[in-house]
């Protein structure tokens, strides 16, 4: 996480009970996925689990999987492809997603509001459809 701090960024944990479509993709720098990884010794896979970090970032309008275990960056595609990719990754229990945002001087709660789409920010039930009734 030191590399993020040097670039004036921070990682914010994403609650995977939410759909990734609630993320304002224009307000973020990228993503970090934390995934389980097998422990290999030579050609033998040992029954130990370790964690692996995968960076995902937009480059020239396309999103790329920048996993260091790949021979080269893997193009995920556009925004729709990215959201499908993130949904698939988060379906398993042992994967976590961090949203990478530029660090600001605002509170953590307000910082979250900066990368969540405005319609997904929690509102009191009576305000959800503007009529005072829950839709």
Instruction: Tell me the per-residue pLDDT of 76-127, one tens digit each, with 9 for 90 and over.
Output: 999 999 999 999 999 987 899 999 999 876 656 665 668 998 765 554 444 4
Q: Confirm whether 135 is domain-assigned.
A: no
What's the pTM? 0.76
Q: For the residues 58-76, what does the mean pLDDT come to? A: 97
Helix or strand (DSSP H, E) at 6? helix 2-6
Higher pLDDT, 43 or 21: 21
Q: Confirm whether 120 is domain-assigned.
A: yes
Range of the domain at 32: 2-40+47-106+116-127
- Closest alpha carbon to 25 in 65, 78, 70, 66: 78
């Amino acid at each position: 996480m030191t590399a993020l701090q040097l670039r004036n960024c921070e990682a914010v944990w994403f609650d995977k009970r939410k759909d990734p479509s609630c993320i304002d993709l224009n307000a973020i720098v990228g993503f970090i996925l934390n995934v389980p990884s097998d422990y290999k010794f030579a050609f033998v896979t040992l029954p130990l689990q370790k964690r692996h970090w995968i960076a995902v970032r937009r480059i020239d309008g396309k999103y790329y999987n920048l996993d260091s275990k790949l021979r080269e960056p893997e193009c995920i595609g556009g925004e729709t492809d990215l959201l499908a990719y993130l949904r698939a990754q988060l379906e398993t229990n042992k994967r976590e997603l961090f949203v990478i945002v530029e660090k600001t001087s605002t509170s953590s709660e307000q910082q979250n509001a900066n990368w969540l789409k405005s319609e997904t920010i929690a509102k009191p039930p009576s305000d959800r459809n503007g009529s005072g009734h829950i839709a």
